Amino acid sequence: MNELPKLEIYLITQGDDLGGSYSANKAIHEAWRNGELRNGSLMANGIAVQDAAKLFAQEDGFCIGLHCTLHAEWDRVRWGPVLSPKQVPSLVLEDGTFHRSPADWKTSGFEISEVMAELQAQLEAVRKLGFKPYYADTHMGFERIDERLTHLFDNWCKSEGLMSYRNVCMDISYNGLGQGEDPVLNVIQALESVPSGIYRLVTHPTFMDEEILNFGNAQHSGEQIARERDADRRLFHDERLKRYIAQNGIRTIRYDELWKYC
């Protein structure tokens, strides 16, 4: 009796917060060159976005997306709008940086017109740096706070020739690095539990260095953030994951390859 063909899994491997730190830029670049990372979501307002342009803007084999960022969750590392804070007053605090989370909008309020203006400014900023983003996603999923934003975001993506990350695929449930846990085994176990299809694995690769140790807030220490993100970096280089992918009919793909498999 002939064996049934092995079910295929197409895995969009994504590194978030490209341009948000020099550490992320280097880690994401290495995870692409030497590992299984295929996509990077770029923060237009990140401190290291110009450094990211030097590494990635002219590369054809790596898919760049716009990581639309309207919130700044850390205590010491803060970012704000591409536009002048005076142009988007409902999106910023008194110091000109973003609110900490989408939940803050419930109490502070926000102007949808300012949201869309800032998204447009972020897109134009990365294009001026030489990037040609193929898709767009959102930092902290801010659009889910208001149903109007979900529709506006998708429509805006369509008008700008961007693929919206929403409803493209299902996310692999990846618990990251807990106490005594092995992130590689976590990912492998997650992949073993799903049927054939298209999935997305979202990570935040960095090194465990002084830059990332400055991240953190009351809920998550800088050391915890650095440790978890360094584990994300090492994940893509790990020979166990590479071997599992090669032996189990899994393809790591870019967003701009989805048309081949849908």
Range of the domain at 183: 9-260
What is the count of structural domains for the chain?
1
**Domain with 139 in it: what CATH number?**
3.20.20.370
User: CA–CA separation, 76 vs 212, rounded Å?
Assistant: 11
Question: What one-letter code names the amino acid at 26?
Answer: K
What is the tens place of the pLDDT at every residue in 65-107? 999 999 999 999 999 999 999 999 999 999 999 999 999 998 9
- Domain assignment of residue 3, yes or no: no
Mean pLDDT score across all residues of the chain: 93
pLDDT for the residue numbered 3: 41
- Mean pLDDT within 181-201: 92
User: CA–CA separation, 57 vs 55, rounded Å?
Assistant: 6
User: CA–CA separation, 236 vs 234, rounded Å?
Assistant: 6
Helix (H, G, I), strand (E, B) or coil at 12: strand
48 contacts: CB under 8 Å, gap ≥ 6: 19, 20, 21, 22, 24, 25
At 178, the pLDDT band (50, 70, 90 cuts) reads low
